[in-house]
Amino acid sequence: MTNPSPPPPRPGVRSVRRVARPEREPRPALHGDQMFFSPCPRGLEAMLAEELGGLAAKNVQVVPGGVAFQGDWALVYTVNLESRIATRVLWRVGHGPYRKEEDIFKLAYGLHWERWFSPRRTLRVYTTAVRSPLKSVDFVTLRVKDAICDRMREQTRSRPSIDTVNPDVRAHVFLTDREATLYLDTSGEPLYKRGFKVAHVEAPLKENLAAGILMLSGWDRVAPLFDPMCGSGTFLIEAAQMALDVAPGLGRSFGFEKLDAFDAAVWTRVRDAAAARAQPPRELPIYGSDISGREVARCKENLQAAKLPWVVRVEGADMLDREPPAAHGVMVTNPPYGERIGEKQELAAFYPKLGDLLKRRYSGWRCLFITADTDFPKLIKLKASRRTPLYNGALECRLYEYRMVEGSLRTPRAEAPPAG
């Protein structure tokens, strides 16, 4: 059905020419199911999809780098609170084709930002592009920021201030070669920032990647778990929280609390249910050690901040010298990558000793190593039962699994018959 023509002007009334305004997508309702996207460490997309399905997300779809899904705001609160693998939960508020920056400006300007957050909130815009023909991602960021602020000023006579360090509201732009998608961030700080880690190391493993590795390991949350190069304790803390069924987001705040759609009563119900489900701390068969006394101190500091000071046992020790903490179990660790000058030679000597150690002392253990060192599988001289590609940020890694049995993993060759 076509739109009717505008009526002719009444006698004595001057006709006013209407200025064409950018077309607007229908405003996403603040109630009912919405469309969301959760990025995650690359390699863990299928695991995140399974996790979201278990949280009752609808229409779950895996794409490279994350998972799209649908649900209501109670689900948004639940995913932010409960997901161990998601990096963020982004609310899709706009989508459309573009050819130049001005098309993206018009798309952003046509959205109802004033209905989603107050101009008193501070704002930051982030842009990510894959195969975009535009020359400058930074310029797109600037134009979207301008569009949001111009729209806010027109509708409310006020505009948000920009804060690039700790904004109240984060808007995200994702560009493909032809289409732009705009999101509001419901998470705020990335979800791998659990809210308790106070001591860091030089190259930390992100918590959501560590949680995904623990899930990939097949650890049942009951068997002994050991990280012999524990650093700041990321694997240990994630494992302890999993064993005690502690929701990873219980110790932090979220971006959705700054949006106008926020329902404090629903959030309180979701959070209180998770807190009631958590088991009280108890001593667990989770063990850690590190050759560096400084890292052991940092690990203990983080365990204290996570309210797990005596749940996990940590000690200073060289992995090559200490005995296994149990007769069998799962070892998960993040060995050094050898990125500094001189380390390559040290690791070339260390990895063969590590392989010998595993054969001699760790029969009955499943041992997993996440590393970006392409020499690792050759130098450790063991046959991996599984190799899983993963990314630690932008760094391409492999998760190697070794199932240790009595003696060598190689099938012994038949002895040659005596001559004669």
Look at residue 71 and tell me if it is in a domain.
Answer: yes
Q: Which pLDDT does position 346 carry in this prediction? A: 87
Q: Does residue 139 share a domain with residue 242?
A: no
Segment 271-278 long-range contacts (CB within 8 Å, at least 24 positions apart): 271/77, 271/81, 274/81, 274/82, 274/247, 274/250, 275/247, 275/250, 277/245, 277/247, 278/244, 278/245, 278/246, 278/247, 278/250
Domain count along the chain: 2
Contacts of 225 (CB under 8 A, 6+ apart): 214, 219, 235, 236, 239, 285, 286, 287, 329, 330, 331, 332
Q: Does residue 180 share a domain with residue 136?
A: yes
Q: Does residue 105 share a domain with residue 51?
A: yes
326: domain CATH number is 3.40.50.150
In 10 A of CB 101, how many CB atoms?
17
Structure-block tokens of residue 6 = 């505008």
Final residue of a structural domain among 155, 185, 215: 185
Look at residue 397 and tell me if it is in a domain.
Answer: yes
Summarised one tens digit per residue, pLDDT across range 355-367 is 999 999 999 999 9
Q: Does residue 341 share a domain with residue 214?
A: yes
115: domain CATH number is 3.30.2130.30
Q: Which pLDDT does position 45 carry in this prediction? A: 98
Q: Which pLDDT does position 340 carry in this prediction? A: 54
Q: Does residue 355 share a domain with residue 233?
A: yes
Whether 399 has a pLDDT exceeding 50, the answer reads yes
Structure-block tokens of residue 35 = 């469309």
Residue 185's beta-bridge partner residues? 90
Contact 193, 237 (CB under 8 A): no
Q: Which pLDDT does position 179 carry in this prediction? A: 98
Q: Given the DSSP bridges, would you call strands 286-290 and 313-316 parallel, antiparallel or unpaired? A: parallel
Q: Which pLDDT does position 341 carry in this prediction? A: 47
- For residue 137, the number of C-alpha atoms closer than 13 Å in the C-beta half-sphere is 14
Look at residue 285 and tell me if it is in a domain.
Answer: yes
Look at residue 3 and tell me if it is in a domain.
Answer: no
Q: Does residue 178 share a domain with residue 290?
A: no
With 0-12 / 13-18 / 19 or more C-beta atoms within 10 angstroms meaning exposed / middle / buried, residue 294 is exposed
Q: Does residue 228 share a domain with residue 352?
A: yes
Q: Does residue 38 share a domain with residue 80?
A: yes
Q: Does residue 109 share a domain with residue 222?
A: no
- Domain range spanning residue 177? 34-185
Look at residue 307 and tell me if it is in a domain.
Answer: yes
Measuring CA to CA, which residue among 88, 74, 149, 140 is closest to residue 114? 149
Q: Does residue 335 share a domain with residue 399?
A: yes
Q: Does residue 372 share a domain with residue 291?
A: yes
- Orientation of helix 207-216 relative to helix 234-243, angle to 10°: 60
Give the model's confidence band at 414: pLDDT under 50 very low, under 70 low, under 90 confident, else very high: very low
In angstroms, how far is the first alpha carbon of the chain from the final one? 99
Q: Does residue 122 share a domain with residue 227?
A: no
Look at residue 202 and tell me if it is in a domain.
Answer: no
Residue 68's beta-bridge partner residues? 37, 61
If you average pLDDT over residues 21-33, what whole number do you get?
A: 53
Give the model's confidence band at 199: pLDDT under 50 very low, under 70 low, under 90 confident, else very high: low
Look at residue 262 and tell me if it is in a domain.
Answer: no
Look at residue 387 and tell me if it is in a domain.
Answer: yes
